[in-house]
Structure 1
Amino acid sequence: MRLGIQLGYSGEGFAADVDEVVEYEEAGAELVVVPEAYSFDAVSRLGFLAARTRRMELASGVMQIYTRTPTLTAMTAAGIDYVSGGRFSLGLGASGPQVIEGFHGVRYDAPVARTRQIVEICRRVWRRETLVFEGGHYRIPLPGEYAKPLKLINHPVRPRIPVLLAAMGPRNVALAAEIAEGWQALWIDPRNAARVFGDALADGRSRRDAALGPLDISVPVPFALREQGLDRHRAQLALYLGGMGARGRNFSNDLVRRYGYADAATRIQELYLSGRRAEAVAAVPEDLVAATSLVGPPDEIRRRLDALAGAGVTTLLVSPLAAERAQRVKDVQTLSTLLATR
């Protein structure tokens, strides 16, 4: 199981976060993932990280499929891979209509079909093919006397940059298992993962090209090696279950329902959308908070790592929780050792 670091939606503290990531690299972390929602973009921060790190891999977690043209997505990924010396993986996701339509002013439609076509276009660009694509959602070049098929001027470091797809629903998870090098999960409850995701993963893998290799499954978790309050994690769960989408169109809420928390999911959403956010946070079940975090002494961490591995997780993306930076780095080093000696 690889050890990665999941960054947050950093703002003023990003330079300090990167200083800390450099220490995590020395402590054994192999990957750092940069998110993009309606925050600062991921690309500029990934470029900063490429200049400051030496060995660890970099990934977007995730760039939204609607906010860039497919060709620009490919160009951007090739650029980050170039400045990092071939250390980048392109994490893509559909986000949701609240962000895409509400913040970007772009219609949210056909996420599965669009994702499939974008991945194909990206791979053609990275192979430096003269780009001609006729799909249901993208046509390149457009018809007209001025449009001309082109290929990427530069030679990418790699003709195939790994693609990681963020997915929660069955169709998206199946797509990730079929066409991507990796699947970025949001939360995995090891007790229920096989029931919730097993059929979709099996469906996608039945059509998977063997050249892709085994599917990498990554999951973010808050992490500490001692008793640690999980107030921030509880609040994030409430935000995603209650506020990241409308009633009837909240993918995180749907996922937690499939995990068996239907009543709690309904109550959290009702409280959050009615403005009673503190009550929504308090309504998040303790069992859900514990199942989606990695907190405890080494023996408990080992047990949880075994459970996550049994659920198919191959990359752990931790958000260290200790109050002091030195302790966070030390905890990551200890976790690296625990993973190496499993």
Structure 2
Amino acid sequence: MIEGFHGLPYDRPLTRTRELIQVLRMGLRREPLEFSGKTIQVPLAEGEGLGLGKPLKLLNKPERADVPIWVAALGDKNVAMTAEVADGWLPFLFYPEKAGEVWGDPLARGAAKRSADLAPLEICAGGMVAIGEGPETKALLDFMRPMYALYVGGMGARDKNFYNQLACEYGFEAEAKQIQDLYLSGKKKEAEALVPLEWLEAGNLVGSATYVQERIAAFREAGVTNLSVTPVGDDPAGTVTQIKEWVS
């Protein structure tokens, strides 16, 4: 994605993210942007560009200088870096009961280096939400299959797919390989059918009122501080209102 769509080399990703956060915070504090890092040079160094660059600062005054910066990270080192320097973490395809096993150590390593000037790391995760009895409600989970199959099977390259690796870390090694093989062969429907129902049920909040409340508790137990949901059904606004009551 970085090299094919953005046209940038995929090098020093952790350093690049760390430096980007530093530069963003400088800008939000309305400091003159003068930064010499390993991946970011602001302004451009002498001999690059037209030579007209100079340290600038925002003309507008942000309402606050500490606008939260959240990072969507998956790999161990990236998650550790996020826990160290970011305000929030956005894990994807989250499985609450297995989150500690997969990310517990990286989160702990990052937290140990976290500055006392930063508030505790916030975590935002969730999924589709539908409240109802009967198999017709559970069947709504099938709407999530294309997205899971896309990321596990079709993102990145065959030997460099962070979502596929995540599926393996969750314990779905066989399914991850089959999904990728099918997806890259153009057999997307077959790939979708192999997304483990266990993962879909754990990562979303679909079922009876009691079950959905149990999923909310599981996300909270896994350290999630902000629950992000996509309601489906006849009354999405009512569903969100109900979720808010259960979360509070």
Give TM class, smaller chain: over 0.9
> What percent identity do the matched residue pairs reach?
42
Supply the AA of the counterpart residue of 1:335: I
Mapped to 2, the partners of 1:310 and 1:119 lie a distance apart of 28
Residue number among 45, 51, 63 corresponding to 1:157 in the alignment: 63
Unaligned stretches of 5+ in structure 1?
1-98
Find the counterpart in structure 2 of residue 258 from structure 1.
169
Residue in structure 1 matching 2:201, options 287, 290, 293: 290
User: Deviation per CA, 1:104-152, whole angstroms, max 9, x where unpaired?
Assistant: 3232222211000000001111111122111001111223353322222
Pair 1:110 & 2:16 matched = no
SS at match of 1:219: strand
**SS of aligned partner of 1:222:** strand
1:231 and 1:298 map into 2 onto residues whose CA distance is 19
The aligned residue for residue 226 of structure 2 is 315
Q: Distance in 2 between matches of 1:250 and 1:143?
A: 34
The equivalent residue for 2:89 is 183
Please name the residue that 1:91 is paired with. none
Work out which of the residue numbers 100, 117, 123 in structure 2 matches 1:211: 117
Residue equivalent to 1:137: 39
In the alignment, which residue of structure 2 is the partner of 1:18? none
Matching residue of 2:244: 336
- If the length of structure 2 is used for normalisation, what is the TM-score? 0.92
Cα distance in structure 2, aligned partners of 1:256 and 1:210: 34
Q: Secondary structure at the match of 1:191?
A: helix
Matched, 1:126 2:46: no
Q: TM-score, normalised by structure 1?
A: 0.68
Deviation (angstroms), 1:308: 1.0
* Cα distance in 2 between the residues matched to 1:172 and 1:105: 21
1:301 matched residue in structure 2: 212
User: 1:278 is matched by which residue type in structure 2?
Assistant: K
Deviation per CA, 1:263-298: give whole Å up to 9, x if none. 110010000001111110111111111111111122
User: What's the secondary structure of 1:151's corresponding residue?
Assistant: coil
1:245 aligned residue (137, 156, 160): 156
Aligned equivalents of 2:207, 2:161: Cα separation in 1: 31
Q: Which has the larger radius of gyration?
A: 2
Q: What amino acid is the match of 2:159?
A: G
How many residues were matched structurally?
239
Counterpart of 2:179 in structure 1 is: 268
| Aligned AA (1:191) | E
User: Contact (CA 8 Å) 2:202, 2:215: kept in 1 or not?
Assistant: no
RMSD: 1.3
> Could you tell me which amino acid in structure 2 is paired with residue 337 of structure 1?
E
Equivalent in the alignment of 2:141: 230
SS of residue matched to 2:128: strand
What runs of 5+ residues in structure 2 fail to find an aligned partner?
A: none
Shift of 1:197: 0.5
181-190 or 146-155: which moved more? 146-155
Distance (Å, rounded) in 2 between the aligned partners of 1:220 and 1:337: 16
1:318 deviation in Å?
0.4
Rounded to whole Å, the distance in 2 between the matches of 1:301 and 1:244 is 30
